[in-house]
Amino acid sequence: MTTELFTGAEMVVKSLSALKVKYIFGYPGGSVLDIYDAIFQQDEIEHILVRHEQAATHMADGYARATGEVGVVLATSGPGATNCVTGIATAYMDSIPMVVLAGQVATSLIGNDAFQETDIVGCTRPIIKHSFSCRSLADIPDAISKAFYIASTGRPGPVVIELPKDILIPQNKGPFSIETDIKIRSYNPNVNGHPKQIKKAVQAIARAKKLVIYSGGGIVLSDASELLTKLVETLKAPITNTLMGLGGISGTHEQFIGMLGMHGSLEANKSMANADVILALGARFDDRVTNNVEKFCPNATIIHVDIDPTSISKTINAHIPVVGLVEVVMQQLLDELSDINFSPDEVALTLWWQQINLWRNVKSMSYDQAENEKIKPQRVVEALYKITQGDAYVCSDVGQHQMFAAQHYPFAKPRRWINSGGAGTMGFGLPAAMGVKLAFPDKHVICITGDGSIQMNIQELSTCSQYKLPVVIVTLNNRSLGMVRQWQDMVYGGRHSSSYMESLPDFVKVAEAYGHVGIKIDHLDELEEKLTQAFNIKDRLVFVDVMVDEKEHVYPMQIRTGAIDEMWLKKGVKA
């Protein structure tokens, strides 16, 4: 019997099939034409042709964030691959499982400055979890299989695979086999928290009078939201989420005190500052949370649960570190709490909640909307919440609109809030929303964006036409780069250096030019009606261009170099 032989390109596609990949997001070019030819000749995997490789990475990223699966990108060598760099960095910063297949010039040409040659493995080294340089046919299935395993386990992240042209071409064939039960001797992520640390953590929790639970993106990534809710309800303590952790617990849960950090709620930041024990779950004490680390929560014993040891005691020293998968560690905590017959100190809890409710009553997220004035951006987000009942997938770009969305759309479920938190990548929102819509065609998928961000990947409106992706784009149009402008107002004496947008296009016409529906909203009294109208159009993309008050700032806001709870509530008003 003769063994069937395959080309490298066929092996790429067969490997992806074996790993149950449904979509590849990419753009063809010289070095990967053989892979495109192999894709053409099968129907298990659908290729989505973007208009710019950066968008392919964000689409794969959005798809991964919404589904929990690995997002797959295919790009050609040189500029195709370098266009992926921003998307890879975005996925890296937010720990998103992604595999990027990058073409490369033939092995004999590597190092010769050949046409469309870039050392993409070198370019991406600081922003990947791992990378593979294939040099022979036999490397391909092994690299792809390992890449998926590495990308999706432990702390997830992007993996790059470099595929030189000469190992893909038809002249080169070999037998195919793929091992999907992967073991790597140098890679064994911790799963269980150390029992001693669990005991210590529970002892600290049991002694606490002012406990705060602070949870992050790790809860969302590991689908641990039910367990988190159970833990939170057992402890009866307040819970705050990071920007990445929103939806980890329902935004309307009575123990939820809002997002914390730079634009977090006063009650979240005050609770953290006054806590005696902080239970951090899958969060990393980012500088947008802590503010000045020297002044960070001086009286708190910090229990830090994270899958990644490097996150622990990197910025804030953890008194009780626990390395492990957050869902496993939370179950261990629940078991230990049950073993010691834990019941919360009701007297202390009552006092603690009384104090928190005083902070809550300040209503730090409030804003003033007069009926006959320009639309406040916050009002648009509230209207979106009302129409979609809190159950939409909300993909945002980066800037003021992102913060308004995070503050005013209480997410009922995890994986519904999709934004570039760590990297802060403008241009992320639209392609991410497209990836989500592909995965969940029957759900509301909104891209909340700004007039700056939308233009960073606006060419993808064309991809939306091609694949019929009826996302709802809502642009909070303030005719300026709002967050930059806000900082210039607050820190740079109101000098608006390059922060305003002259010659904005007519977005309605732009949408129409791509075959979509465009709706412009100018006045408050038409806001809800026209937004509802937009959501009633199910089969076409609707681009809603909302003219909002350009002078509105995002409040509350931490005061620079201050403690976590030192905040501006309004212009000139400190908490």
Q: Site residues (CB under 8 A) for other proteins?
A: 121-122, 125-126, 129-131, 133, 150, 184-187, 308-310, 313-314
- Nearer Cβ to other proteins (172/315): 315
In angstroms, give the least distance from the CB of 294 to other proteins: 14
CB nearer to other proteins: pick between 124 and 477: 124
Residue closer to other proteins (CB basis): 182 or 501: 182
Q: Output Rg (C-alpha) for the chain, integer angstroms.
A: 25
Fill in the DSSP letter of residue 412. S
List the one residue out of 463, 318, 471 whose CA is nearest residue 388. 471
Q: Which is nearer to other proteins, 185 or 495 (CB)?
A: 185
Question: d(Cα 557, Cα 264) in Å, to the nearest integer?
Answer: 7
Q: Which residues are catalytic?
A: 53, 115-116, 165, 483
The β-bridge relationship of strands 158-164 and 98-104 is parallel
Beta carbons of 293 and 274 less than 8 angstroms apart: no
Residue number with CB closer to other proteins (162 or 336): 162
Q: Are 278 and 302 in contact (CB under 8 A)?
A: yes
Instruction: Give the phi and the psi of residue 315 in degrees, each rounded to 5.
Output: -105, -40
CA-CA-CA-CA dihedral for 524, 528, 531, 535, to nearest 10: 180
Q: Report whether 486 contacts 568 (CB < 8 A).
A: no
Q: How far is CA 174 from CA 10, 135, 482, 562, in A?
A: 10, 14, 56, 62
Shortest reach from residue 191's CB to other proteins, in Å: 16
Token pair for 384: 């979106």
Other Cβ atoms closer than 10 A to 200: 18
Bridge partners of 281, per DSSP, are 215, 305
Nearest to 18 by CA among 178, 183, 162, 181: 178
Query: Helices then strands (H, E): number in the chain?
Result: 21, 23
Q: Which two tokens stand for residue 194?
A: 């150390």
Q: Residue 369 is inside which H or E element, if any?
A: none
Q: What tokens appear for 161 in the block?
A: 């695979």
Least separation in angstroms between CB 389 and other proteins = 41
Which residue number, 131 or 453, has a Cβ lying nearer to other proteins?
Answer: 131
* Residue 55 φ then ψ, to 5°: -65, -30
How near is the Cβ of 534 to other proteins at its closest, in Å? Answer: 44
228, 231, 235, 236 alpha-carbon torsion, rounded to 10°: 50
Nearer to other proteins, 131 or 477 (CB): 131
- CB of 150 or CB of 448, closer to other proteins: 150
CB 137 to other proteins: min, Å: 17
Shortest distance, CB of residue 112 to other proteins, whole angstroms?
Answer: 18
Report d(CA 369, CA 391) in Å as an integer: 25
Which tokens sit at 195?
């029992």
Q: Give the shortest CB-161-to-other proteins separation in angstroms.
A: 13
The distance of closest approach from Cβ of residue 308 to other proteins in the complex, given in angstroms and rounded to an integer, is 7
